[in-house]
Structure 1
Amino acid sequence: MTVRVGVVGGGQLARMMIAPAVELGLDIRVLAEEPGMSASLAATATGDYRDLETVRAFAREVDVVTFDHEHVPQPVLRALVADGVAVHPGPDALQFAQDKLLMRARLAELGLPQPDWAAVRNAEELQAFLDDHGGRAVVKTPRGGYDGKGVRVVSAGVDAADWFAALAEDAHGGALLAEELVDFTRELAQQVARRPGGELAVYPVVETVQREGVCAEVVAPAPRSSGRVAAEAGRIGVEVAEGLGVTGMLAVELFETSDERVLVNELAMRPHNSGHWTQDGAVTSQFEQHLRAVADLPLGSTEPLQPWSVMINILGGPAHAAMSDRFEPALAEHPRARLHTYGKAPRPGRKVGHVTVTGADLEDVAYEARAAASAFD
């Protein structure tokens, strides 16, 4: 019997699951937030993912529910589980990707390396944390932040006064997350896939380059990584996946320090920007792997197809022309580049596509990828 996989969320991650779903013989269905979204090709329903009855009606038509994002409320997720719906990742795991304070506390229980942190409820508590950590720190809203949103570097407790005021107006109260400002040398990402029964598949650790809080480039595998760093990143990824009970794809964003310490920064329980290189650079893409995992199928090989892959995000898109107007010249000038577009209208800072180039020489691969992506500036 064909497995019906329901994806909540109609963004580019759901869009990139469509082709591998077809190849695997899965029936993919998407609950999109509104018509015309990136994954509209597979959208069988449109509605608010925060509304229980909307999601319930969608879930009745599928065998397993998974996600394009982590924003579905916990009460909705737990109601689906109570209804007997297979939800992957489940709410017990997903809560740690939805709430950074819960994540930090759970990682501490697991003994995993991470920056010093504290829950702070007012400017005085934040100032005390700053005083203990060299006068500067990172403050994050525990829920809802992504691509640099909900993150702020502060040097005084009053620097987050507006966020504390918003907390005071929230009927549920709460706290902000204060973190040590890590003096890292670079950022890494480790992806792991896990089936419900515990089978794991680990991808090579990659280096990510962020610009203004948004991922701009990914190099796979991470260059200049010692065997110790690669092994530590893999160990952390596996322990997070097992310790949190993740099913599907997991991305662990990491800091590497000058003394080769590896610290956990953020988590994502879905396909992730740091894994887009796998579409063209690995035996099994992260999108196929996620579908395999949530449908409880045997996992695929994570082996790279070439020594190097470089993925460049297309951010914003052309200001005065449609993306399609740039396709032909970009493809003609850069035949080695693999272009993926998201069906989104250009907007400053918006992820509208990405380019990947693979090959044996990292310098050559990086140059070709950057040149191809620049055609869409």
Structure 2
Amino acid sequence: MAIRVGVVGGGQLARMMIAPAVELGVELRVLAEEEGMSASLAATAVGDYRDAATVLAFARDVDVLTFDHEHVPQDVLTALVDAGVAVRPGPAALGVAQDKIVMRTKIAELGMPQPEWAAVTGVADLQAFLDAHGGRGVVKTPRGGYDGKGVRVVSAATEAEDWFAALAEDAHGGALLVEELVDFTRELAQQVARRPSGEVRAYPIVETVQRGGVCSEVIAPAPRAGDRLTRVTAGIGVAIAEGLGVTGMLAVELFETTDERVLVNELAMRPHNSGHWSQDGAVTGQFEQHLRAVLDLPLGDTAPRAPWSMMVNILGGPTSGGLEERFSVAMADCPDVKIHTYGKAPRPGRKVGHVTATGDDLDDVAYRARAAASFFAG
């Protein structure tokens, strides 16, 4: 009987685990939130990931449980562990990715560089932080934010009054996270894979380009990434993976500052948008690597297959004409570019797919990747 890996969440990350699971001889089972999601090809159950009984019933038939997202509540994760389920990454590690204040606290304990920050429970606290940090800051909701959601750049504490009011109405209370507004030159991402027995492998550092708070492009490796930057970022990624006991893929989003420092921005404990380039650009793509890691199999080589790789997200999708028609045209015009679609209906700002291109010349690689993605716009 094949080894069975259960994935909680039916989004595009679970979808992209299907092909490497087949190649590895692994049976992939998915608990989707609803019918017709991206990973419907492997969806063996549909249900609420917030309900312990639902997730426990799904987990009975798998050897290892992993995740398409970090939103499974801690009480559900604890119930799974108490029932003897191999949960990877485990509740303690996932708890750091689930709450940005916990994340900042743990990163500080590990001695990793990060922006100055504070947990604030009211307007007065927030204003005091802003006054001490140049009059501006970044306010974040600790839970649930992604792709620019739950993030505001503010120059007065009153700009977050509605968020404080929402906290006051929440039975669990809590605080908002405020961070200094970092003067950065670019954003980077460091991916690391770790398996339970302790083996760790780092991927090349990549540069990410954000538009409207959403990742638009990824360049691998990051241009102008010398030996020092490569060594420092890999060291940060490995230290966090080991310090938090991560199992599977870890993405560390970073700022590179004007004075050539790197600061930890956020963490993701799963395959990540910044690693989609590796599907076609690395010896071992992040989705295969994640499966290897959670199954405690030897990790694959993370070396790039070409000097340059570029990933461009397909955001929104066409407003006229289906993705299928555009897919055919893009394949004909860009035969040397890989196109990955997510099985999602087009919607403004939604990630509905991505393209990857590889080659010896970065300008040419960028041109080909952007050209292929452009077929899906408008």
1:372 matched to which residue of 2? 372
1:40 matched to which residue of 2? 40
Q: Does 1:57 align with 2:30?
A: no
1:235 matched to which residue of 2? 235
Equivalent-residue separation in structure 2 for 1:258 and 1:133 (angstroms): 17
1:18-167 paired onto structure 2 within 5 Å: 18-167=18-167
Deviation at 1:2, TM superposition (A): 2.1
1:258-337 paired onto structure 2 within 5 Å: 258-337=258-337
1:166-185 paired onto structure 2 within 5 Å: 166-185=166-185
Deviation at 1:209, TM superposition (A): 0.1
2:343 matched to which residue of 1? 343
Amino acid at match of 2:136: R
Equivalent-residue separation in structure 2 for 1:226 and 1:16 (angstroms): 31
What is the root-mean-square deviation of aligned Cα atoms in Å?
0.6
Deviation at 1:120, TM superposition (A): 0.3
C-alpha offsets along residues 244-276 of structure 1, whole Å, 9 cap, x if unaligned?
Answer: 100000000000012210000000000000000
| SS of the residue 2:303 aligns to | coil
1:358 matched to which residue of 2? 358
| SS of the residue 1:138 aligns to | strand
Equivalent-residue separation in structure 1 for 2:84 and 2:147 (angstroms): 34
| SS of the residue 1:311 aligns to | strand
Deviation at 1:301, TM superposition (A): 0.3
Amino acid at match of 1:66: T
1:212 matched to which residue of 2? 212
C-alpha offsets along residues 334-353 of structure 1, whole Å, 9 cap, x if unaligned?
Answer: 11110000000000000000
C-alpha offsets along residues 319-363 of structure 1, whole Å, 9 cap, x if unaligned?
Answer: 011100111211111111100000000000000000000000000
Structure 2 alignment gaps of length 5 or more: none
Q: Does 1:256 align with 2:256?
A: yes
Deviation at 1:222, TM superposition (A): 0.2
| SS of the residue 2:45 aligns to | strand
Equivalent-residue separation in structure 1 for 2:330 and 2:190 (angstroms): 31
| SS of the residue 2:17 aligns to | helix
- Give TM-score, length-normalised by structure 1: 0.99
Deviation at 1:54, TM superposition (A): 0.3
| SS of the residue 1:148 aligns to | coil
Equivalent-residue separation in structure 2 for 1:136 and 1:68 (angstroms): 34
Equivalent-residue separation in structure 2 for 1:252 and 1:65 (angstroms): 22
Amino acid at match of 2:332: A
1:202 matched to which residue of 2? 202
2:10 matched to which residue of 1? 10
C-alpha offsets along residues 118-149 of structure 1, whole Å, 9 cap, x if unaligned?
Answer: 00000110000000000000000000000000
Amino acid at match of 2:64: V
C-alpha offsets along residues 294-332 of structure 1, whole Å, 9 cap, x if unaligned?
Answer: 011110000100000000000000001110011121111
Structure 1 alignment gaps of length 5 or more: none
Equivalent-residue separation in structure 2 for 1:292 and 1:109 (angstroms): 29
Q: What fraction of aligned residue pairs are identical, expressed as a percent?
A: 76
Equivalent-residue separation in structure 1 for 2:294 and 2:328 (angstroms): 37
Amino acid at match of 2:316: G
Equivalent-residue separation in structure 1 for 2:158 and 2:235 (angstroms): 39
C-alpha offsets along residues 62-93 of structure 1, whole Å, 9 cap, x if unaligned?
Answer: 01100000000000001100111000000010
Equivalent-residue separation in structure 2 for 1:162 and 1:337 (angstroms): 45
| SS of the residue 1:86 aligns to | coil
Equivalent-residue separation in structure 2 for 1:156 and 1:327 (angstroms): 46
Amino acid at match of 2:313: N
Equivalent-residue separation in structure 1 for 2:321 and 2:127 (angstroms): 48
| SS of the residue 2:89 aligns to | coil
